[in-house]
């Protein structure tokens, strides 16, 4: 039993399924990134976890306790919103104090004006102020405490939002694209900070993002959601190197994986001299062959590989992206090359395109990954036939 377990969560809005039986277990202190294209249901899942929406089916267990019928306010789940959702009329310190005030002060003590005169609230307020200062110190926002959100930069607001979420030591931490409103430089910097803060707090964290690079770089495990389905939940390395579904392979990695159309025949795939024997039985017919751009090499002499042409070269400094087209099939293929590999290449020239067969992935017609039994180069008979 993990710290947080989701069991078959489903949700539909006006007949459209947004979540289809999502199940997931988070270990104590684990950082899980929920990643997927916009509209895949990841934010809905987060809102259901927070108690802001209700699932049509399924259950949420926190430390083994069912949360489905617990109000958002009582779940002790903290959330950082995409827009930060700071109260614009309150200073940073007042913003951070809100969750503590809600928890520690009685309703009468919270009343505007009158509340400040009720007995017993002085000590509580002093305690809240102490906790707020401590949290501000941790996040290095001491100098901002008297400012209102309108007087802060995006990065500062994001820190205040983090402080507000962390100050009450929640049992689960939810973050909904907290970095998407920051500029590119700040975003990369903030990734490291959030990971660091998460390590200190040691609370299971679900982090929603549409940026696959963010997910891969920050998370212990990445959950890829597409079309309301949780397609794969695994470590970043596994997600990248060993995707179980074509959509996962497509979504993760920049530039995107090359997908080539091929035909399976009697459990074998032949593609431009590459021969793969499949471990699983598959009906004869079209399948997809995936190969990541870094496993595509180009031979300027054209003596080896499949004949093709470079359409365009993209210079990115440390690497060069070559957009190519295969001569026979007309498929487009992208190669990611080191600068020295590309120094003899020019746009428009004919090249030999080498696809590393041992790095190829095969996906069935419905997108499921098909395991390969044996790989062969040109003209080699598969062993098991």
Partner 1 sequence: MSSVALAGNVLSTAALRARSEDRTAWLLALPAIVLLFLFVLLPVIAVIFLGFTDFELGYGKFRIVGFENYAHLITDRTFRKSLWNTTLYTAMVAPVSIALGLGVALLIEGELRARAFFRTVYFLPVASLIVAMATVWQYIFHPTIGPLNALLSLVGIPGPNWLGASNTVLYSLSIIGVWQSVGFNMVLFLAGLTAIPRELYAAAEVDGAKSALDRFFLVTWPMLGPTTLFVVTISITNAVKVFETVKMLTDGGPNKASEVLLFTIYQEGFVYMRVGYASAMTVVFLAILVVLMFLQYRVLDRRVHYT
Q: Which is nearer to partner 1, 69 or 185 (CB)?
A: 69
Burial class (CB in 10 A: 0-12, 13-18, 19+), 225: buried
Whichever of 151 and 380 has its CB closer to partner 1, that residue is: 151
In terms of CB distance, is 85 or 138 closer to partner 1?
85
In the complex, minimum distance from the CB of residue 361 to partner 1, in angstroms, rounded to a whole number: 40
Tokens 């996906």 sit at which residue? 363
Least distance in angstroms from the C-beta of 205 to partner 1? 15
Phi-psi region of 302 (alpha: psi -120 to 50; beta: other; left: phi over 0): left
Region at 216 (left for phi over 0; alpha for psi -120 to 50; beta for the rest): alpha
CA dihedral for 274, 280, 285, 291, sign (positive or negative): negative
User: Residue 102 or residue 316: which is nearer to partner 1 going by CB?
Assistant: 102
> Which is closer to partner 1, CB of 105 or CB of 246?
105
Cite the DSSP H helix spans in the chain.
Answer: 42-50, 92-104, 107-110, 121-139, 154-166, 184-201, 212-218, 236-241, 246-251
Question: Which of residues 78 and 264 has its CB atom nearest to partner 1 in the complex?
Answer: 78
Contact 309, 302 (CB under 8 A): no
User: At its nearest, how many Å lie between partner 1 and the CB of residue 336?
Assistant: 39
Q: How far is the CB of 32 from partner 1 (least distance, A)?
A: 19
Pick between residue 99 and residue 243 the one whose CB is nearest to partner 1: 99
Nearer to partner 1, 47 or 275 (CB): 47
Smallest gap from residue 91 Cβ to partner 1 (A): 10
Contact between 180 and 148 under an 8 Å Cβ cutoff? The reply is no
Least distance to partner 1 from the beta carbon of 111, Å?
Answer: 8
Question: Taking the complex as a whole, how short is the minimal distance between the CB of residue 138 and partner 1, in angstroms?
Answer: 19
What is the secondary structure of 64-100 as a DSSP string?
A: TEE-TTS-GGGS-EEEE-TT----TTS-HHHHHHHHH
Residue with smaller CB distance to partner 1, 110 or 191? 110
- Closest-CA residue to 357 (of 272, 298, 286): 272
Q: How many CA atoms lie within 13 A of 251 on its CB side?
A: 30
| Cβ-based nearer residue to partner 1, 75 or 250 | 75
Residue 49 CA to residue 63 CA, distance in Å, equals 14
Specify the pairing of strand 350-355 against strand 372-376.
unpaired
Q: Applying CB under 8 A, which residues contact partner 1?
A: 47, 50-52, 71-74, 77-79, 81-83, 85-90, 98-99, 102-103, 107, 110-112, 148-150, 164
CB of 150 to partner 1, least distance (A): 3
DSSP SS3 for 9: strand
Nearest distance from residue 196's CB to partner 1, in Å? 23
Question: d(Cα 216, Cα 211) in Å, to the nearest integer?
Answer: 9
CB of 147 to partner 1, least distance (A): 11
Question: Using an 8 Å Cβ cutoff, are 71 and 77 in contact?
Answer: no
């Amino acid at each position: 039993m993990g710290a947080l377990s989701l069991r078959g969560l489903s949700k539909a809005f006006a007949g459209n399924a947004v979540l289809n039986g999502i199940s997931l277990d988070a270990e104590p202190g684990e950082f899980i990134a929920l990643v997927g294209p916009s509209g895949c249901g990841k934010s809905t899942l987060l809102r259901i976890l927070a108690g802001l929406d209700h699932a049509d089916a399924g259950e949420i267990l926190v430390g083994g306790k069912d949360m489905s019928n617990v109000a958002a306010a009582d779940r002790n789940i903290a959330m950082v919103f995409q827009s930060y959702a700071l109260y614009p009329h309150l200073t940073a310190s007042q913003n951070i104090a809100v969750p503590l005030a809600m928890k520690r002060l009685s309703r009468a003590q919270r009343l505007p004006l009158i509340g400040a005169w009720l007995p017993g609230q002085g000590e509580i307020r002093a305690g809240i102020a102490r906790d707020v200062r401590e949290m501000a110190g941790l996040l290095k926002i001491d100098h901002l405490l008297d400012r209102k959100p309108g007087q802060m930069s995006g990065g500062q607001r994001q820190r205040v939002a983090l402080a507000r979420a962390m100050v009450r030591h929640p049992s689960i931490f939810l973050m909904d694209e907290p970095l998407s409103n920051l500029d590119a430089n700040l975003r990369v910097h903030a990734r490291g900070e959030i990971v660091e803060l998460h390590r200190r707090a040691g609370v299971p964290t679900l982090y929603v993002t549409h940026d696959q690079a963010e997910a891969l770089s920050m998370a212990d495990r990445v959950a890829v959601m597409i079309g309301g389905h949780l397609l794969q939940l695994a470590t970043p390395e596994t997600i990248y190197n060993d995707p179980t579904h074509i959509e996962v392979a497509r979504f993760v990695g920049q530039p995107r994986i090359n997908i080539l159309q091929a035909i399976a025949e009697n459990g074998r795939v032949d593609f431009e001299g590459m021969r793969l024997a499949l471990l699983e039985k598959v009906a004869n017919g079209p399948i997809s062959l995936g190969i990541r751009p870094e496993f595509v090499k180009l031979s300027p002499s054209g003596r080896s590989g499949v004949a093709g042409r470079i359409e365009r070269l993209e210079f990115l400094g440390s690497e060069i992206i070559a957009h190519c087209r295969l001569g026979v099939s007309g498929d487009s293929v992208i190669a990611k090359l080191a600068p020295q590999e590309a120094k003899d290449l020019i746009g428009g020239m004919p090249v030999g395109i080498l696809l590393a067969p041992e790095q190829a992935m095969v996906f069935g017609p419905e997108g499921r990954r098909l395991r390969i039994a044996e790989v062969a180069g040109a003209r080699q008979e598969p062993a098991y036939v």
